[in-house]
Amino acid sequence: MTRITTLADTEAVARRAAMDISRHLARVREERGTAHLALSGGFTPARTYELLAQELRDWDGVEIWFVDERCVSPDDEQSNYRLAREALIEPAGIPDQRVHRMLGEMGPQAGAQLYAIELSINVPCAENGMPTLDLCVLGIGADGHVASLFPGAPALSATAEQVCLGVEDSPKPPPQRITLTLAVLRAARRCVLIATGAEKRAAIAAMLGDPAESVPASLLARERLAVIVDDEASPPA
């Protein structure tokens, strides 16, 4: 069952998300010594990351991964890595060797292939061989997409063994991207999805409905999904 938390505004959402993420990472690190955290881009996650850099005082043992990336240079304004670096990685003092960025500048196919290998080598895998991230931070598009998994896209039909995919025709620019597959997101021990603003209300409502490829967020593993929204994004009761 999906756990939904509704708060007054964007700042309250970011603070609650930062607190939840910090507590989960601390607990995982205490249990296993290492925690694997995957980040998304976007305005609301950016504020969460700024607060998270202060909330979690000790980042030893936390490995940083990415849910998706645009095929641009790491210094490009559209780069998810750049956003995370400026909001979280540098303020928290996380060393480069524990930051695993998607090499978007290599193009979608080569970048996805390399990232799948890196994940499979460095992240503990389940019995089916799927890397199991400890926590994925997700946003949601007004169309219900998560990561770079868009409604009706071929990427939603990836096989259960595929870890990372190149996207050539994203409906949002830029068209070329790299994304984790739905199988990896579903295998994660926990996902935190953050949404704010009235333009996300319909997407949140659709996500909570019947699973459908027309709403990729509805295909997440709901028993391990926490949703944090503000009043404007909260669907009608």
Is 4:221 a contact under the CB 8 Å cutoff?
no
Q: Is 191 helix (H, G, I), strand (E, B) or coil?
A: strand
Is 133:220 a contact under the CB 8 Å cutoff?
no
Secondary structure element (H or E) that encloses residue 143, with its range: none
Q: Kindly tell me the sign of the dihedral angle through the C-alpha atoms of 56, 57, 60, 63.
A: positive
Q: What is the pTM of this model?
A: 0.96
Ordered structural domains, the chain, with CATH: 3-230 (3.40.50.1360)
Per residue of the chain (237 residues), what is the pLDDT tens digit? Answer: 678 999 999 999 999 999 999 999 999 999 999 999 999 998 879 999 999 999 998 999 999 999 999 999 999 999 999 999 999 999 999 999 999 999 999 999 999 999 999 999 999 998 888 999 999 999 999 999 999 999 999 889 888 889 999 999 999 999 999 999 999 999 999 999 999 999 999 999 999 999 999 999 999 999 999 999 999 999 887
